[in-house]
Amino acid sequence: MSIIVIVILLFILLLVYKNFYSKIEKEKDLKIALFKLTHEIKNPLTVCKGYLNMMDYNDKENIRNYLDIIRGEIDRTVMIINEFSDYGKLTLDKDVVEISLLLEEIYETIKPLVKSTNIKTKFNNIDDEIYLDIDYLKMKQVLINILKNSIEAKKKDEDMLLEVDVGVNNNYLNINIKDTGIGMTKETLSRISEIFFTTKQNGTGLGVGLSKEIIKLHNGSINYKSKYGKGTSVLIKLPVK
Protein backbone atom coordinates (compact mmCIF):
# COMPACT_ATOMS: atom_id res chain seq x y z
CA MET A 1 0.00 0.00 0.00
CA SER A 2 1.62 3.28 -1.12
CA ILE A 3 1.73 6.48 0.92
CA ILE A 4 -0.53 8.20 -1.62
CA VAL A 5 -3.18 5.49 -1.20
CA ILE A 6 -3.02 5.85 2.60
CA VAL A 7 -3.46 9.63 2.41
CA ILE A 8 -6.42 9.20 0.05
CA LEU A 9 -8.03 6.71 2.45
CA LEU A 10 -7.59 9.09 5.37
CA PHE A 11 -9.15 11.89 3.35
CA ILE A 12 -12.13 9.69 2.43
CA LEU A 13 -12.62 8.77 6.11
CA LEU A 14 -12.74 12.46 7.04
CA LEU A 15 -15.33 13.12 4.31
CA VAL A 16 -17.46 10.23 5.60
CA TYR A 17 -17.23 11.66 9.10
CA LYS A 18 -18.54 15.04 7.88
CA ASN A 19 -21.57 13.30 6.38
CA PHE A 20 -22.53 11.91 9.80
CA TYR A 21 -23.91 15.28 10.83
CA SER A 22 -26.84 15.07 8.41
CA LYS A 23 -27.64 11.51 9.54
CA ILE A 24 -27.90 12.14 13.28
CA GLU A 25 -28.90 15.83 13.46
CA LYS A 26 -32.32 14.91 14.87
CA GLU A 27 -30.92 12.83 17.72
CA LYS A 28 -31.24 14.21 21.25
CA ASP A 29 -27.60 13.57 22.05
CA LEU A 30 -26.25 15.03 18.80
CA LYS A 31 -23.52 17.12 20.39
CA ILE A 32 -22.37 14.33 22.70
CA ALA A 33 -22.39 11.73 19.92
CA LEU A 34 -20.41 13.97 17.56
CA PHE A 35 -17.91 14.81 20.28
CA LYS A 36 -17.36 11.15 21.09
CA LEU A 37 -17.20 10.13 17.44
CA THR A 38 -14.62 12.85 16.77
CA HIS A 39 -12.55 11.61 19.70
CA GLU A 40 -12.73 7.97 18.60
CA ILE A 41 -11.75 8.74 15.00
CA LYS A 42 -9.09 11.25 16.00
CA ASN A 43 -7.07 8.69 17.97
CA PRO A 44 -6.29 6.22 15.13
CA LEU A 45 -5.79 9.07 12.63
CA THR A 46 -3.26 10.65 14.99
CA VAL A 47 -1.43 7.32 15.18
CA CYS A 48 -1.37 7.11 11.37
CA LYS A 49 -0.02 10.65 11.07
CA GLY A 50 2.67 9.96 13.65
CA TYR A 51 3.94 6.85 11.89
CA LEU A 52 3.87 8.59 8.51
CA ASN A 53 6.08 11.33 9.97
CA MET A 54 8.52 8.78 11.44
CA MET A 55 8.70 6.62 8.34
CA ASP A 56 12.14 6.17 6.80
CA TYR A 57 11.44 5.92 3.08
CA ASN A 58 14.91 4.45 2.44
CA ASP A 59 14.30 1.52 4.80
CA LYS A 60 11.91 -1.05 3.28
CA GLU A 61 11.63 -3.04 6.52
CA ASN A 62 10.78 0.13 8.43
CA ILE A 63 8.12 1.04 5.86
CA ARG A 64 6.62 -2.46 5.94
CA ASN A 65 6.32 -2.45 9.74
CA TYR A 66 4.81 1.01 9.90
CA LEU A 67 2.35 0.29 7.07
CA ASP A 68 1.04 -2.75 8.96
CA ILE A 69 0.32 -0.56 11.98
CA ILE A 70 -1.26 2.16 9.84
CA ARG A 71 -3.41 -0.42 8.03
CA GLY A 72 -4.65 -1.73 11.37
CA GLU A 73 -5.58 1.77 12.56
CA ILE A 74 -7.43 2.48 9.30
CA ASP A 75 -9.35 -0.81 9.67
CA ARG A 76 -10.32 0.17 13.24
CA THR A 77 -11.52 3.59 12.05
CA VAL A 78 -13.64 2.03 9.29
CA MET A 79 -15.13 -0.40 11.84
CA ILE A 80 -16.08 2.49 14.15
CA ILE A 81 -17.66 4.40 11.29
CA ASN A 82 -19.62 1.38 10.03
CA GLU A 83 -20.99 0.49 13.46
CA PHE A 84 -21.83 4.09 14.28
CA SER A 85 -23.65 4.63 10.98
CA ASP A 86 -25.85 1.58 11.72
CA TYR A 87 -27.46 3.50 14.59
CA GLY A 88 -29.12 5.88 12.19
CA LYS A 89 -30.49 3.36 9.68
CA LEU A 90 -31.59 0.25 11.56
CA THR A 91 -34.29 -1.59 9.63
CA LEU A 92 -35.42 -5.20 9.80
CA ASP A 93 -35.83 -7.79 7.06
CA LYS A 94 -37.96 -10.30 8.93
CA ASP A 95 -38.76 -13.89 8.10
CA VAL A 96 -40.01 -16.91 10.04
CA VAL A 97 -36.99 -18.75 11.44
CA GLU A 98 -36.61 -21.98 13.41
CA ILE A 99 -34.49 -21.01 16.40
CA SER A 100 -32.55 -24.29 16.52
CA LEU A 101 -31.16 -23.67 13.03
CA LEU A 102 -30.00 -20.18 13.98
CA LEU A 103 -28.31 -21.39 17.16
CA GLU A 104 -26.62 -24.29 15.35
CA GLU A 105 -25.14 -21.91 12.80
CA ILE A 106 -24.00 -19.55 15.55
CA TYR A 107 -22.34 -22.40 17.42
CA GLU A 108 -20.42 -23.42 14.29
CA THR A 109 -19.28 -19.80 13.93
CA ILE A 110 -17.88 -19.51 17.45
CA LYS A 111 -16.52 -23.08 17.65
CA PRO A 112 -12.97 -22.12 16.52
CA LEU A 113 -12.83 -19.38 19.19
CA VAL A 114 -14.05 -21.76 21.87
CA LYS A 115 -11.56 -24.49 20.92
CA SER A 116 -8.63 -22.09 20.87
CA THR A 117 -9.39 -20.96 24.43
CA ASN A 118 -10.39 -24.34 25.92
CA ILE A 119 -13.76 -23.04 27.08
CA LYS A 120 -16.42 -25.60 27.99
CA THR A 121 -19.79 -24.98 26.31
CA LYS A 122 -23.33 -26.22 26.96
CA PHE A 123 -26.29 -25.50 24.67
CA ASN A 124 -29.40 -26.67 26.57
CA ASN A 125 -33.08 -27.25 25.72
CA ILE A 126 -33.03 -26.24 22.06
CA ASP A 127 -36.43 -27.21 20.67
CA ASP A 128 -36.77 -27.85 16.92
CA GLU A 129 -40.34 -26.55 16.93
CA ILE A 130 -39.77 -22.96 18.11
CA TYR A 131 -40.31 -20.35 15.40
CA LEU A 132 -39.60 -16.62 15.50
CA ASP A 133 -40.40 -13.78 13.11
CA ILE A 134 -36.97 -12.12 13.04
CA ASP A 135 -34.25 -10.56 10.94
CA TYR A 136 -31.97 -13.58 10.72
CA LEU A 137 -28.71 -11.76 10.03
CA LYS A 138 -29.21 -9.04 12.64
CA MET A 139 -30.23 -11.52 15.32
CA LYS A 140 -27.20 -13.63 14.45
CA GLN A 141 -25.08 -10.49 14.81
CA VAL A 142 -26.52 -9.83 18.29
CA LEU A 143 -25.99 -13.36 19.59
CA ILE A 144 -22.47 -13.70 18.19
CA ASN A 145 -21.54 -10.34 19.73
CA ILE A 146 -22.75 -11.50 23.16
CA LEU A 147 -21.01 -14.87 22.88
CA LYS A 148 -17.73 -13.28 21.76
CA ASN A 149 -17.90 -10.93 24.75
CA SER A 150 -18.30 -13.97 27.00
CA ILE A 151 -15.36 -15.74 25.38
CA GLU A 152 -13.18 -12.66 25.80
CA ALA A 153 -14.17 -12.52 29.50
CA LYS A 154 -12.32 -15.76 30.27
CA LYS A 155 -9.90 -15.41 33.15
CA LYS A 156 -6.31 -16.15 32.22
CA ASP A 157 -5.18 -19.68 33.11
CA GLU A 158 -8.63 -20.60 34.50
CA ASP A 159 -11.39 -22.82 33.14
CA MET A 160 -14.64 -21.21 32.06
CA LEU A 161 -18.12 -22.49 31.29
CA LEU A 162 -20.20 -20.83 28.57
CA GLU A 163 -23.81 -21.95 28.76
CA VAL A 164 -26.84 -21.18 26.59
CA ASP A 165 -30.33 -22.05 27.88
CA VAL A 166 -33.36 -21.75 25.59
CA GLY A 167 -37.02 -22.05 26.57
CA VAL A 168 -40.49 -20.61 26.07
CA ASN A 169 -42.44 -18.81 28.79
CA ASN A 170 -45.68 -16.81 28.34
CA ASN A 171 -45.33 -16.71 24.53
CA TYR A 172 -41.77 -15.40 24.74
CA LEU A 173 -38.60 -17.22 23.86
CA ASN A 174 -35.96 -16.85 26.57
CA ILE A 175 -32.33 -17.09 25.51
CA ASN A 176 -30.07 -17.01 28.55
CA ILE A 177 -26.33 -16.77 27.87
CA LYS A 178 -24.19 -17.29 30.97
CA ASP A 179 -20.45 -17.42 31.54
CA THR A 180 -18.16 -17.89 34.52
CA GLY A 181 -15.67 -15.29 33.30
CA ILE A 182 -14.24 -12.18 34.87
CA GLY A 183 -17.61 -10.42 35.14
CA MET A 184 -18.18 -6.67 35.41
CA THR A 185 -18.03 -4.13 38.19
CA LYS A 186 -21.22 -2.27 39.09
CA GLU A 187 -19.92 0.84 37.34
CA THR A 188 -19.11 -1.01 34.13
CA LEU A 189 -22.48 -2.78 34.17
CA SER A 190 -24.29 0.55 34.55
CA ARG A 191 -22.45 2.03 31.56
CA ILE A 192 -22.35 -0.80 29.01
CA SER A 193 -25.09 0.79 26.88
CA GLU A 194 -23.30 4.14 26.64
CA ILE A 195 -22.15 4.95 23.14
CA PHE A 196 -18.38 4.42 22.75
CA PHE A 197 -17.95 3.16 26.32
CA THR A 198 -15.68 0.13 26.37
CA THR A 199 -13.15 -1.57 28.63
CA LYS A 200 -11.52 -3.38 25.69
CA GLN A 201 -8.31 -2.13 24.13
CA ASN A 202 -9.63 -2.57 20.58
CA GLY A 203 -13.37 -2.27 21.27
CA THR A 204 -15.65 0.32 19.68
CA GLY A 205 -18.14 0.62 22.55
CA LEU A 206 -21.02 0.25 20.10
CA GLY A 207 -21.87 -3.46 20.25
CA VAL A 208 -24.12 -3.53 23.33
CA GLY A 209 -26.08 -0.42 22.39
CA LEU A 210 -26.59 -1.69 18.84
CA SER A 211 -27.72 -5.10 20.13
CA LYS A 212 -30.28 -3.45 22.41
CA GLU A 213 -31.68 -1.43 19.52
CA ILE A 214 -32.01 -4.55 17.36
CA ILE A 215 -33.78 -6.49 20.14
CA LYS A 216 -36.08 -3.53 20.78
CA LEU A 217 -37.09 -3.44 17.10
CA HIS A 218 -38.09 -7.10 17.49
CA ASN A 219 -40.42 -6.13 20.38
CA GLY A 220 -38.14 -7.99 22.75
CA SER A 221 -35.92 -7.16 25.70
CA ILE A 222 -32.34 -7.78 26.76
CA ASN A 223 -31.02 -7.61 30.32
CA TYR A 224 -27.52 -7.96 31.71
CA LYS A 225 -26.52 -9.25 35.14
CA SER A 226 -22.93 -9.51 36.26
CA LYS A 227 -20.74 -9.83 39.30
CA TYR A 228 -17.07 -9.02 39.15
CA GLY A 229 -14.96 -12.14 39.48
CA LYS A 230 -17.99 -14.44 39.11
CA GLY A 231 -19.35 -14.03 35.58
CA THR A 232 -22.11 -12.51 33.48
CA SER A 233 -25.55 -13.56 32.28
CA VAL A 234 -27.53 -12.02 29.42
CA LEU A 235 -31.25 -12.74 29.11
CA ILE A 236 -32.94 -12.08 25.76
CA LYS A 237 -36.73 -12.31 25.43
CA LEU A 238 -38.36 -12.48 21.99
CA PRO A 239 -42.02 -13.02 21.04
CA VAL A 240 -42.71 -16.49 19.65
CA LYS A 241 -44.40 -16.79 16.26
Residue extents of the structural domains in the chain:
3-86, 95-239
Strands 221-227 vs 231-239: parallel, antiparallel or unpaired: antiparallel
**H/E run at residue 238:** strand 231-239
| Between 210 and 37, residue with greater pLDDT | 210
- Judged against a pLDDT cut of 70, whether residue 4 lies above it is answered with no
Q: Would residue 14 be called left, alpha or beta, if left means φ above 0 and alpha means ψ between -120 and 50 degrees?
A: alpha
Q: Among 15-29, 75-89, 194-208, which is the least confidently predicted range?
A: 15-29
pTM score: 0.66
**Helix/strand number for the chain, H first, E second:** 7, 7
Which range, 32-36, 120-124, 225-229, has the best average confidence (pLDDT)? 225-229
Average pLDDT over residues 142-161: 87
Q: What CATH superfamily classification does 95-239 receive?
A: Histidine kinase-like ATPase, C-terminal domain (3.30.565.10)
pLDDT of residue 180: 93
Beta-carbon count within 10 A of 63 CB: 17
> 93-107, 150-164, 190-204 — which is least confidently predicted?
190-204
Whether residue 109 is predicted with pLDDT greater than 90 in this model: the reply is no
Q: What local confidence, expressed as pLDDT, does residue 228 receive?
A: 93
